[in-house]
Amino acid sequence: MVGGEVSWEIRVLYRHGKGIREIAREMGSSRNTVRRYLRDESAGRYKPRLRRQKLDPFKDYVIERLSSAAPERIPASVLLRELRERGYSGGYTMLKALVASLKPKEAALINLHRRCSMPIPHRFHPWWPDQWPPLR
């Protein structure tokens, strides 16, 4: 399989009037490869791989467990202990990422608002005039 740019270049050369044999010689590939890329535009694209994760069989349990404790938050370490009892052999990081993706977005916005709307103690602000070095 040739890359996306090469397949695009094959089509451009063909539109400019070059023959299949000439394009194959120039690109360093076989004539059948050139024909395939001219025939099918999607031939040069990789398809996304669907990889199964160790956490996939346990996602329903995690979602159910988090929604049952809805206003309260369950730490990923507690969930990891429960999943290990159920046969989960994966790691903490994958579980933590899943829990973070299921966290309600409103709580994150409220925390951001709290963090940004706190008043700055102006006396210790780096641009406060009393703290400027004296001019010479």
Contact 73, 102 (CB under 8 A): no
Boundaries of domain holding 30: 4-44
Which helix (H) or strand (E) covers residue 124, if one does?
none
Contact 37, 27 (CB under 8 A): no
pLDDT band at 8 (very low <50, low <70, confident <90, very high): confident
Q: What is the pLDDT of residues 79-90, one digit of tens each?
A: 999 999 999 998
pLDDT (average), residues 106-110: 53
Query: Residue 45 carries which DSSP code?
Result: S
38 and 82, same domain (yes or no): no
Structure tokens at 95: 């579980």
- Report if residue 38 sits inside a domain: yes
Higher-pLDDT residue of 94, 133: 94
- Report if residue 40 sits inside a domain: yes
